[in-house]
Chain A
Amino acid sequence: MELLIENLPEWVPQFFWASLQTLQLTLASFALAVIVGIVVALLRRTHVVPIRWAMVAFVEVGRGTPALVILFLIYFALPDLLPALSLDSFTAAVLGLGLQGGAVLSEIFRAGIDAIDRGQREAGISLGLTPGQTMVDVLAPQAIRVVLPPVGNYAIGLLKDTSIASIIAAPDLMLRAKDLASSSFLPMQVYVLVAVFYFAMSYPMSLLVGQLELKLARHRH
């Protein structure tokens, strides 16, 4: 404990800085995951069968493979196949976590769209809206309310999962912790402190999502 307190002035600023890197990694992966998730969810509704199959395969592979394996495939395996595709570790981590997140989010979005009554869609069409307009103006605004809490929970999970990116040496909290642990020979103190930093970011997020869940549940009645 004394060793932890003694080292706080040196470690805390470094962890603050690394927290920003973790947030950056989380935000970039989240943005990619939302885009991929929307595209995949919409493409799964197409009438072109091969595209639909490709999307189903993407979702199954994305959800059924550990994030670590996906990161290794993108960071180590891809450049061995095509040297032009060698990415820096941060980009590889964003790409890996974002694509996997897209598979997860597309299922949430699909459930959200399905949860909106079919009549809504038919009403939109019969009022003369095109299918695209029906999606954007009628279905999407209602689906967003349904999907917000699960998307929030996904974001919290993602924040914690970015720690896996440290294994491919992407700059983040966990990588900083590993460096400090090996330079200070105080793994216990360092890893407990880094856990505090993760908690300080994820706990407020989970309180927020909990509030949102309550609010939306109340609205529906």
Chain B
Amino acid sequence: MGFWHTMVEVFPRFMPVLLEGAGVAVEVAAGALLVALAGGLVLALATLAPFRLIRIAARAYIELIRGTPALTQLFIIYFGLADIGVGMPPLAAAIVGLGGNGAAYLAEVYRAGISAIHRGQREAALSLGLVPTDVMRYVILPQATRIMVPPFCNFAIQVLLATSLVSAVAAPEIMFKARNLVMETYLSPHVYLLAAMLYLAVSIPMSHLTARLEKRLKRAR
């Protein structure tokens, strides 16, 4: 029996299982994205804080996270924390792990966005009588957000691809389901090809949309 013949035959059986995994992957990605968006902003503001200790702590977090593999971080959170009595279920570990990792990357994006807004904007707002926190909130961040949208979108794609890693901590996403299907059926080429196609079906349209958005925002400026 040919490869594609088998593929057509198993497709209706495999696809629902993989799609179920895709649902979990989207859940993990969305959760991680929210954690990263909030955590990244806090970290970015902390690196600009007037207190030396806070600045150093934020920098240390960013450098430590960016200097170690996400897989190692996931293992520390899932296996390591459980061992010292702070265990969490796979999905929570996945969201905390990928989200905490993403926050360190997004902090740099926020920082670049904030520093790209002209210094004069800040001085103008201050001289108009706004207090520094209002300057950040009403003047700098709204403008910086526009610059940051394309890198945020690219980050979202990366997070979605990175969810494949959380199969290693037993979160039931696409690759986890795929491995189970392979163990049941021994059809690894079919299963993994379908899994790859699922990822591509989301990542390619997303990256094209992001590229178009980037072009449009550049023109608008």
Contact = CB atoms under 8 A, between A and B. Distances in A.
Interface in B152-198: 157, 161-165, 167-168, 175, 178, 182, 186-189, 191-193, 195-196
Contacts, number: 124
| Contact-size category for B | 35 or more
A192 B73 CA distance: 9
A83 interface: no
A21 to B, nearest CB: 14
B42 interface: no
Nearest to B160: A66
A76 B199 contact: no
Interface in B185-217: 186-189, 191-193, 195-196, 199-200, 203-204, 207
Contacts of A186: 83
Contacts of A181: 75, 79
> Mostly helix, strand, loop or mixed at chain A's interface?
helix
| Contact-size category for A | 35 or more
B188 A76 contact: yes
Interface in B27-54: none
Contact of B72 (A65, A78, A198): A198
A65 B75 contact: no
Contacts of A70: 196
A69 B80 contact: no
17 contacts: A60-B207, A64-B200, A64-B207, A66-B162, A68-B175, A77-B191, A160-B69, A161-B69, A174-B69, A181-B75, A185-B83, A188-B80, A195-B69, A195-B72, A195-B76, A198-B68, A202-B67
Interface of A: 60-61, 63-70, 72-73, 76-78, 80-81, 160-161, 163-164, 166-167, 174, 177-178, 181, 185-188, 191-192, 194-195, 198-199, 202-203, 206
